[in-house]
Amino acid sequence: MNRLHPADYLVFFLYFILISSYGYYIFKKKKSKNISSTDFFLAEGALTWWAIGASLIASNISAEHFIGMSGSGFALGLAISTYEWMSAFTLILVAVFILPIYLKNKIFTMPQFLSKRYNDTVSTIMAVFWLLVYVFVNLTSIIYLGALAISSITNISFELSIVGLTVFAVVVTLGGMKVIGYTDVIQVIVLIIGGLVTTYLAISLLSEQYGYGGNILKGLLVLKREAPSHFHMIFDKTNKYYPELPGLSVLIGGMLVNNLAYWGCNQYIVQRALGADLKTARKGILFAAFLKLLIPIIAVLPGIAMYVLHQKGMFHTEMSDTNGIIKPDHAYPTLMNLLPAGLKGVAFAALTAAIVASLAGKANSISTIFSLDIYKKFINKEASEKKLVLIGRWVVIVSMLIAAIVTPALRSLDQAYQFIQEYVGFISPGVLAIFLLGFYWKRTNSAAALAGALLTIPISTVLKFLPLWTHNAFPNFPFLDRMSITFVLIVLVMVVISLANPKRENNAKSIEIDASMFKVTPGFIIGSVIITGILSALYTVFW
């Protein structure tokens, strides 16, 4: 039944009041008469480690996980969890080897690093790339999946859902990074509780259908017994979903390229830690890594449970479109509709929390890059701090408006999560190559970085469509493998160009790196070992 009960509205209203009130309290408490741009965009020195960690997860987890990842759980199984579990490992690498470079060199935006390490041309090209991807891929997909879910579990129309989410996110974002960071703590609590409630319902329903009276442990055993093909983390080439999750490429190669680019070279994510000291930022990132281990429980298991229930003959109408075609992304909304009054409101609040937090974080990053790397650099070099903050707020409004207008065009998607991963992956290999060589090889020059920036999309496009153009005479590589190939090719091109120019550029010296930056505390080592051990156990059990 696609509607909320009075108890659900009450729960959601309480959540909305809580977020709004707390956000306003943080805004008034931290507000100064002359707010600086670094204060607005980065919340410099204001976020604690737990706020940083929560904000990382709240910004990362959105409808694409609840809806998209559950849909992929329905279709592919537990293997889709590799995006989450390998992210936990990648976060450790970022905290140790990448974050210290940003903090030591007082880097506030990713284009700023490129400008400092290479030149303004490379910086501007990548800034434009990021802005286009953030607005037309990330923002639109988050709004689309959110509106799809809301319209599926309520009597609110798809179009009105788009408007509501957009307005809610704009209000949160206009308060700046302090408001986003601290409200994200509440958002994470809400989304985890709501997610666990929905998972509990899915497993208990499964248990009841197989005669175990709602016993959760029995339900988990049923899940494993009835869908054995859905509990393998590594696919072989005989699996029909191998092109989406190709074997060991989910551990090394493409998945590592994807994750390092996302967690280490992405304004949207890194921005949360750039306003803190190294110790606090590392604690926050480690906290986020622990939370990442939990996400498949609330995002993937419900999708697998819906697969088993569907195989048993349930939810055929709900899981199909008007043409009778199975739509995996309908799994989570269908499940939410089964929740009793009150609990459905909790799950609805959790979903909204995830969507709004992600939209706010993404919009803030768009605002940061445009204001600091486009407006101040090219349009108004003498802009005051107050003017930059004002421009930043207007950019939030305009970017969200554009995304809301474009969003309805995504309604033809099947598995939106995989769509997002693939097309964001067109730019990730080049970004990672430019950053890693910029960090660790002083010989890398601006010409090489420019080549990397300009080649990443053409190479990715050719690798994707060449099989079609050549009638399969050229191999049709899975997209994660295409990312690996693109990354290697771009690195090779950059090395050749750099070696061909014997003159070393002085700007390579402007990035300070020394061995002491990479030393970590005993507590960080212990936490990292625990996370790595859990990951090793998971991949051993579910290989």
φ and ψ at residue 92, rounded to 5 degrees: -65, -45
Assign residue 299 a region (left: φ > 0; alpha: ψ between -120 and 50; beta: otherwise): alpha
What's the CATH class of domain 6-76+108-230+298-424? mainly alpha
Tell me if 273 sits within 8 A of 284, measured CB to CB: yes
Q: How far is CA 268 from the centre of its chain?
A: 9
Let me know: does 332 contact 149? Beta carbons within 8 Å.
Answer: yes
Q: Which residues contact 70 (CB under 8 A, 6 or more apart)?
A: 299, 300, 302, 303, 306, 329, 331, 332, 335
Residue-range domain boundaries for the chain = 6-76+108-230+298-424, 426-513
Looking at residue 419, its pLDDT comes to 64
Q: What pLDDT shows up at residue 402?
A: 93
Q: Which helix (H) or strand (E) holds 449?
A: helix 446-469
Q: Which residues, 6+ apart, have CB-to-CB distance to 437 below 8 Å?
A: 444, 448, 449, 491, 494, 495, 498
On the 0-12 / 13-18 / 19+ scale of CB atoms within 10 A, 28 is exposed
Per-residue pLDDT of the chain (543 residues; tens, 9 = 90+): 457 788 888 888 888 788 778 777 777 775 544 566 666 665 555 678 888 888 888 777 776 677 778 888 888 888 888 989 999 999 999 999 999 999 888 888 888 899 888 988 889 988 898 898 889 888 888 888 788 778 877 778 888 989 988 888 888 777 766 677 677 777 778 778 878 888 888 888 888 888 777 788 888 888 888 888 888 888 888 888 788 788 888 888 888 998 999 899 888 778 777 777 889 889 999 999 999 998 898 888 888 888 888 887 777 666 666 666 677 777 777 777 777 777 778 777 877 777 887 888 888 889 888 988 888 888 888 888 788 888 888 998 999 999 999 888 877 655 555 566 677 778 889 999 999 999 988 889 999 999 998 998 899 889 888 888 888 788 888 888 888 999 999 999 999 999 988 766 666 667 888 888 889 999 999 999 999 999 999 999 988
